């Protein structure tokens, strides 16, 4: 396959970005100096075997068979009929072969190729550390699978996350032996056929190589890396959606100020507030005075007097506050003109707008914690036992071949549990903003369900919110941590497991629905933003004509008779006219405008009801691709 670049692996410096690059098609090369260490450890192990040393998983059985030493010959050969299925080679080789072929028992749909490619690069990298006993020739065979794009078929379900991801990694390794199935050039076929088409040969495993290939946290780590990559993109997209909604609401920016967040400096919160300030930079909608914002009224033929204005898709109005309703509010009406339009007279926005830094920021912190764990794991050794050929003054084999528990996935499982719980939180606050945009009781003067509905036949964005609500509920019901349910395995030899493979797989799957929820907010916020901009600019253009009576026609509550109130009304309408005429054109922040323009290249403003399914597909694809960022 055509490769953009090649990732250099030395067992020490693999990054999440490099894993993502390999998942997307990059190749790998292995560090020559580190390969010498790999081979030295394999040679050390072979020497210990020749000395007759008892070594777990090499000269003993696995799991509950760990107390059984392998004999010099097969007892089964003496059984009636012999042992026709036994592989060629020694019992030590048979042990490794059987480990792979009996452990490849996963079920379900196969992982996508990018997940398997991520698993391959992670496994190669951890074996490069030189503590697993694998030979260089076997490691090269594993790298050849990746570089020739032979993708083992790995069903998604079957790992308990300790001893590592035994079953899925066995599906990965069995193709090296000429077994199992693989994808090659887009086709699913037997593993041996895929190897042959790629010009590769099956291999035979030596001491501990089966254990080195299938014992580790590779599946959960690969899915976690890809899930976190998506989460970071979705967090940036969620900030963009929130900024677009804030502009559409003509919201308040005080809750985003730097000095505010210096008083509670959670890193994610500070970052989110800073990002929102950048996204809203240049906005003439945020912090707009209350009295300038008109309320939507359905369009009618008589709504506007000039042919240009009659092309509008709405009418607008304000309510005038009479003198007898201003008692005790004199200071407020000295600052703001006495007109009630779309923006409610309150100094703070709803939580779904005001608390974006706190909520998005907390999700960011959950993702950051998971990234910290994953970054350590990417360059860790996670199989068992661990080999230390260069140990100083070893007295016994146990000083150089040490059984430990690095295969246990609990560090990853708990970190991904945190992210798993955070996903419906991010989806929920996005849905609340969407709901607020379509609800005429709460959308600060925008039309109900963001459609003019002149003939009472349109639903507008009503059911978009239904879909978002369904997604939030589905994500919430899937957010329960898998890591709290350990089910012992291997006749209780493995009596506490992490379920980290399920945890990370769930998170990766949930990111798709999270993306859908955020996409629906963007779809809705774009419609709301255009309404808000157009309504405000229509008011501004009307005021710019200098005809206070034309503006007065858009105001309810005018006095019915001549007198002091009428004079007061005229004076205040003229003041409103002047305030509107003196403003700059109303528009969103520069970054929000750019995103809106990109979205409008694919999805038109909804003037009246039309089939929306293609719109929804388009905005979901835009979010998935990151094209709006």
pLDDT of residue 553: 93
pLDDT of residue 73: 59
Residue range 467-522, pLDDT digits in tens: 999 999 999 999 999 898 888 888 787 888 888 899 999 999 999 999 999 999 99
pLDDT exceeds 70 at position 87: no
CA distance 588 to 270: 22
pLDDT of residue 253: 96
For 15-82, the DSSP string reads: -HHHHHHHHTT-EEEE-HHHHHHHHHHHHHHHHHHHTT---TTTTB-SGGGTT-B--SS-GGGGSTT-
From the list 351, 466, 485, 605, the catalytic residue is 351
Read off the pLDDT of each residue in 79-103 and give the average, rounded to a whole number: 77
pLDDT of residue 441: 94
**Which burial class, exposed, middle or buried, applies to 4 when counting CB atoms under 10 A from its CB (0-12, 13-18, 19+)?**
exposed
Asked about 351 being catalytic, the answer comes back as yes
From the list 209, 271, 494, 503, the catalytic residue is 494
Residues linked to residue 339 through DSSP beta bridges, in sequence order: 320
Asked about 600 being catalytic, the answer comes back as no
Q: Model pTM?
A: 0.93
pLDDT of residue 419: 98
Token readout for 281 is: 């930079």
The chain-wide mean pLDDT, for the chain, equals 93
From the list 16, 44, 56, 516, the catalytic residue is 56
pLDDT category at 307 given cuts 50, 70, 90 is: confident
pLDDT category at 81 given cuts 50, 70, 90 is: low
Q: Looking at beta carbons, which pairs linking 11-15 to residues 24 or more positions away fall under 8 Å? A: 11/125, 11/126, 11/127, 11/128, 11/129, 11/130, 11/379, 12/129, 12/379, 13/379, 14/121, 14/122, 14/125, 14/378, 14/379, 15/375, 15/378
pLDDT of residue 2: 45
> Within a 10 A sphere around the Cβ of 12, how many other Cβ atoms?
12
From the list 40, 148, 297, 354, the catalytic residue is 354
pLDDT exceeds 60 at position 269: yes
Asked about 494 being catalytic, the answer comes back as yes
Read off the pLDDT of each residue in 366-394 and give the average, rounded to a whole number: 93
Q: Looking at beta carbons, which pairs linking 370-374 to residues 24 or more positions away fall under 8 Å? A: 370/224, 370/228, 370/415, 370/416, 370/418, 370/419, 371/16, 371/228, 372/415, 373/411, 373/412, 373/415, 374/16, 374/221, 374/224, 374/225, 374/228, 374/412, 374/415
From the list 16, 97, 98, 103, the catalytic residue is 103
- Residue 282, sorted as left (phi over 0), alpha (psi -120 to 50) or beta, turns out to be left
Read off the pLDDT of each residue in 276-298 and give the average, rounded to a whole number: 96
Asked about 29 being catalytic, the answer comes back as no
Domains and CATH numbers, the chain: 6-70+89-216 (1.10.275.10), 228-369+413-625 (1.20.200.10)
pLDDT category at 52 given cuts 50, 70, 90 is: confident
Asked about 215 being catalytic, the answer comes back as yes
Residue range 152-175, pLDDT digits in tens: 999 999 999 888 899 999 999 999
Read off the pLDDT of each residue in 335-339 and give the average, rounded to a whole number: 94
- Residue 231 CB partners (closer than 8 Å, separation 6+): 367, 419, 423, 507, 511, 514
pLDDT of residue 68: 72
Contact 136, 212 (CB under 8 A): no
Asked about 56 being catalytic, the answer comes back as yes
Q: What percentage of the chain exceeds 70 in pLDDT?
A: 95
Read off the pLDDT of each residue in 138-147 and give the average, rounded to a whole number: 97
CA distance 626 to 623: 5
pLDDT exceeds 80 at position 75: no
From the list 98, 125, 214, 215, the catalytic residue is 215
pLDDT of residue 1: 46
For 234-263, the DSSP string reads: HHHHHHHHHHHHHHHHT---GGG-HHHHTT
C-alpha atoms less than 13 angstroms from C-alpha of 125 in its C-beta half-sphere: 30
Read off the pLDDT of each residue in 408-427 and give the average, rounded to a whole number: 96
Within 378-461, where are the H helices?
Answer: 410-438
Read off the pLDDT of each residue in 588-607 and give the average, rounded to a whole number: 97
- When mean pLDDT is compared across 63-67, 262-266, 459-463, 555-559, the lowest value belongs to 63-67
Asked about 290 being catalytic, the answer comes back as no
pLDDT category at 185 given cuts 50, 70, 90 is: very high
Of 374, 381, 407, 440, nearest in space to 129 by CA = 381
pLDDT exceeds 50 at position 9: yes
CA distance 45 to 71: 18
Mapped onto helix, strand or coil, the DSSP state of residue 412 is: helix
Residues linked to residue 17 through DSSP beta bridges, in sequence order: none
Token readout for 52 is: 């007759």
pLDDT category at 392 given cuts 50, 70, 90 is: confident
């Amino acid at each position: 396959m055509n490769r953009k670049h090649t990732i250099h692996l030395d067992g020490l410096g693999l990054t999440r970005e490099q894993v993502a690059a390999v998942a997307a098609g990059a190749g790998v090369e292995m560090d020559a100096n580190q390969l010498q260490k790999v081979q030295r450890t394999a040679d050390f192990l072979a020497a210990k075997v020749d000395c007759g040393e008892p070594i777990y998983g090499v000269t003993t059985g696995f799991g509950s068979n760990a107390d059984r030493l392998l004999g010099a010959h097969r007892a089964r050969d003496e059984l009636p009929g012999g042992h026709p299925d036994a592989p060629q080679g020694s019992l030590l080789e048979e042990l490794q072969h059987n480990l792979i072929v009996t452990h490849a028992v996963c079920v379900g749909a196969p992982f996508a190729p990018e997940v398997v490619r991520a698993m391959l690069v992670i496994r190669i990298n951890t074996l490069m550390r030189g503590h697993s006993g694998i030979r260089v020739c076997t490691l090269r065979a594993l790298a050849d699978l990746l570089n020739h794009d032979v993708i083992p078929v790995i069903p998604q379900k079957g790992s308990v996350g300790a001893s590592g991801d035994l079953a899925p990694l066995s599906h990965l390794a069995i193709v090296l032996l000429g077994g199992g199935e693989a994808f090659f050039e887009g086709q699913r076929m037997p593993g041996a056929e895929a190897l042959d088409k790629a010009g590769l040969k099956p291999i035979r495993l030596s001491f501990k190589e089966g254990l080195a290939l299938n014992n580790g946290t590779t599946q959960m780590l690969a899915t976690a890396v890809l899930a976190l990559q998506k989460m970071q993109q979705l967090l940036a997209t969620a900030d963009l959606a929130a900024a677009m909604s804030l502009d559409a609401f003509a919201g308040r920016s005080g809750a985003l100020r730097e000095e505010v967040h210096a008083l509670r400096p959670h890193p994610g919160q500070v970052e989110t507030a800073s990002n929102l300030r950048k996204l809203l930079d240049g906005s003439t909608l945020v912090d707009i005075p209350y009295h300038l914002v008109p309320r939507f009224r359905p369009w009618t033929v008589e709504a506007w007097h000039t042919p240009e204005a009659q092309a509008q898709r709405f009418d607008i109005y304000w309510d005038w506050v009479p003198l007898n309703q201003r008692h005790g509010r004199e200071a407020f009406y000295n600052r703001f003109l006495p007109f009630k339009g779309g923006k409610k007279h309150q100094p703070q926005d709803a939580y779904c707008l005001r608390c974006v830094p706190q909520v998005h920021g907390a999700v960011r912190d959950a993702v950051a914690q998971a990234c910290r764990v994953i970054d350590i794991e990417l360059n860790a050794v996670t199989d068992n036992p661990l080999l230390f050929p260069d140990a100083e003054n070893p007295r016994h084999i146990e000083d150089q071949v040490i059984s430990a528990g690095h295969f246990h996935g609990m560090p990853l499982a708990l970190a991904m549990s945190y992210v798993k719980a955070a996903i419906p939180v991010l989806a929920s606050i996005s849905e609340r903003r969407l709901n607020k945009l379509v609800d005429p009781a709460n959308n600060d003067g925008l039309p109900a369900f963001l459609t003019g509905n002149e003939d009472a036949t349109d639903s507008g964005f009503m059911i978009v919110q239904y879909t978002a609500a369904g997604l939030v509920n589905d994500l919430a019901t899937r957010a329960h941590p898998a890591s709290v349910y350990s089910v012992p395995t291997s006749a209780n030899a493995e009596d506490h497991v992490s379920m980290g493979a399920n945890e990370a797989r769930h998170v990766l799957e949930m990111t798709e629905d999270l993306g859908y929820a955020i996409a629906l907010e963007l779809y809705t916020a774009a419609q709301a933003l255009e309404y808000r901009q157009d309504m405000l600019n229509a008011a501004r253009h009307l005021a710019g004509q200098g005809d206070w009576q034309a503006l007065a026609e858009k105001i309810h509550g005018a006095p019915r008779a001549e007198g002091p109130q009428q004079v007061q009304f005229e004076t205040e309408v003229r003041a409103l006219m002047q305030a509107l005429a003196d403003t700059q054109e109303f528009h969103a922040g520069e970054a929000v405008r750019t995103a809106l323009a990109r979205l409008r290249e694919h999805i038109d403003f909804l003037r009246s009801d039309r089939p929306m399914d293609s719109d929804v597909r388009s905005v979901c694809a835009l979010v998935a691709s990151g094209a709006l960022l």
